[in-house]
Amino acid sequence: MAYLGGAALLVIVVLTCVSIVGRALVPLDIGIGPIRAIYDLTEIGMAAAVFAFLPLCQLRRGHASVDLFKPLYPTVLNRLLDLLFDAGMLFIAVIGAWRLTLGMLDKLRYGETTLIAQIPVWQGYAASLLGAVVFALVAGFCVLRSLRTLGGKTDAEPEHV
């Protein structure tokens, strides 16, 4: 998923550069101009990229956390806190995927399109939903990993980044 998100960002960067060059060439009147739908494409691509990065971030425990007192806590308490935070992220991931699904179905039902390119908005929701579902699956795995670690299985201990 992270590779797909990176690819989406690269495509956005290339399209933006092409659009800027095209805009700069407009005064030359050679038939080259900006990409008409660059704002719509950037909006959809960025949303999809953000959701594509969430699973890897969760797997590596890369979400923001305050670990100031963590070294002072006993190992069991740290493992319990990891389980609590993983369960919280699972809850957030499931709620997010559920709400994206409802939003996508709503946009599909009413046929809403983007302002400039008239791209169906549900497609952007669908691209984001893919990442959100994988995020929820990875968050579920992380809960299981934390449960195993809490049970004393140190080989499953996550790497803190």
Indicate the pTM of the whole model: 0.86
Say how far apart CA 19 and CA 37 lie, in whole Å.
Answer: 9
Going by the DSSP 8-state scheme, the letter that residue 1 receives in this structure is -
pLDDT of 71 strictly over 60: yes
Domain range summary for the chain, segments of one domain joined by +: 2-62+72-154
Quick one: average pLDDT of 119-128? 95
pLDDT of residue 119 exceeding 80 = yes
pLDDT at residue number 160 = 55
* pLDDT for res 154: 62
| Cα 153 to Cα 44, 61, 75, 76, 150, distances in angstroms | 42, 18, 12, 12, 7
The count of other CB atoms within 10 Å of the CB of residue 64 is 5
Binned at pLDDT 50, 70 and 90, residue 158 comes out as low
Helices 2-25 and 38-59: angle between axes, nearest 10 degrees = 160
pLDDT tens across 6-58, in order? 999 999 999 999 999 999 988 888 878 888 899 999 999 999 999 999 999 99
- Report, as an integer, the average pLDDT of 116-124: 93
Distances (CA, A) of 123 to 53, 64, 126, 161: 18, 30, 5, 33
